Each structure stands twice: as C-alpha cells, then as structure tokens.
Structure 1
Amino acid sequence: MKDFPEVDGWTVVPLSGDLDDYTAQEVRLLLDALVADGATRVVIDLASVPFVDSTGLGVLIAAARRAREDDGAIRLACVGPRVQDVIELSGVSALLRTYPDVAAACA
C-alpha cells in the first residue's frame, strides 16, 4: 500500500478527481485498508476533488464510522465550495468535520 504522510499523528490522504460512483469503490478499499492497518486518525485532503456525489459521501461516512469504532476520526481538509455545498445540503456536516487546510485538520 502507498505510504501517506503523517502530521501530528494524523495520516493525510490526498485524493484527486471526482469522488463518485466510478471511483468510490477504489477509495473505499483504500480507506478500509488504512483503518485495518491501524490508521484511525485520517485527514482526507480534498483540494483536488471538484465533485462528490452521494456514493462518494457514503464512502466517507462509512470510513468515519469505522474509525470512530476504534476511537479515531476522519476529517476533511481543503474542501472546495461545490463539495462543501453537497456536504452541508446532505446533512453530512454533522458527521464529518471540514477544515480549511491540512494543518488545521491535523491540529
């Protein structure tokens, strides 16, 4: 598995491209593997993700729930305006906290 940087005990996972029905399975497998390997504090960097659909949100929510079961958390960083709108309109903001940048998410 690819090594991801750690910042203050948080594993930072940069994603790129749309997070939708076509890419969700790959992201789900990645996040499952990270949590299984003990990375329960994960910051997902969405700076290069212009679009997220309901399938993508489902992947993020499922990962957050798995991390919480192990006393961890999933945080979202660098969320663009379109993605932020989807997160807020769907009510997912109650489950996933967003941060303006990776440094803030890892603090």
Structure 2
Amino acid sequence: MSKLVELAWAGDVDLANITPIRHELDEALDTPDVERLVIDLGAVGFVDSLGLGMLVYAMNTAQTRGIAMSVRHVPPRTQELIDVAGLSQVLAVERD
C-alpha cells in the first residue's frame, strides 16, 4: 500500500536544531512504501542556509528514491529565501 508522509517543522530551522530535523526526515524517507512526502512549514519562524540545505537534501533524496515531495504553508520570508536561492524552479511548493 502506498503512503503519504507529512512532516510539520516548527520553530527555527537552523544550526541549533538541524540534527533532529535531519533524523526525522531520514525516518520519513525510510518509511516502507512511502510515495509522497509533504513538509509543512506553517509553524516555522526562521530558516537559515542550513534549513534551505535540508530542503534540498529532502528533495534530492526523495527524488533518488522515487518519492514525490512538496512543501506547504511556506512563510513569506522563507519563500523569499527559496526564490533568491533559485529553488523555486525545482522545489514543489503547494500554494494555499
């Protein structure tokens, strides 16, 4: 049976908490039969370059494993960072 896995990140996505986020992400991507991963950023207050890097890691790992991935509820400041980094061309962002 195929599965949708949803992660809801909260607080700051930066050096201080990137390790547990990476662990949670790896567990989600290792879920048997997962076909789609959605990362909800609605409760995220701040994203630094490590946070953007984690989105790139998630996107690349998901793609390598044949898992569709998207992000939703992206705060305006985070969307600006995604755009400036050129990730809006390759990262699937669900519009509200």
Provide TM-score, normalisation by structure 1.
0.79
Q: Distance in 1 between matches of 2:30 and 2:15?
A: 23
Gaps of 5+ in 1: 1-7, 102-107
Whether 1:95 aligns to 2:90 is yes
Percent identity, please: 34
Structure 1 residue 9: deviation in Å? 4.3
Structure 1 residue 50: deviation in Å? 1.9
Structure 1 residue 95: deviation in Å? 2.5
Contact 2:72 2:93 in 1 (8 A): yes
2:40 counterpart residue number: 45
Compared with structure 1, are the counterparts of its residues 77 and 86 closer, same or farther at alpha carbon in structure 2 (3 Å cutoff)? same
Counterpart selection for 2:6 from 9, 12, 15: 12
Hey, which of these two has a bigger chunk of strand by percent? 2
Structure 1 residue 94: deviation in Å? 2.1
Q: Distance in 2 between matches of 1:24 and 1:91?
A: 22
Q: Distance in 1 between matches of 2:29 and 2:62?
A: 7
Give the partner amino acid of 1:61. Answer: V
Helix, strand or coil for the counterpart of 2:74?
Answer: coil
Contact 1:17 1:51 in 2 (8 A): yes
Q: CA RMSD in A?
A: 1.7
Contact 2:9 2:41 in 1 (8 A): yes
Compared with structure 1, are the counterparts of its residues 19 and 40 closer, same or farther at alpha carbon in structure 2 (3 Å cutoff)? farther
2:65 counterpart residue number: 70
Aligned length: 94
Gaps of 5+ in 2: none
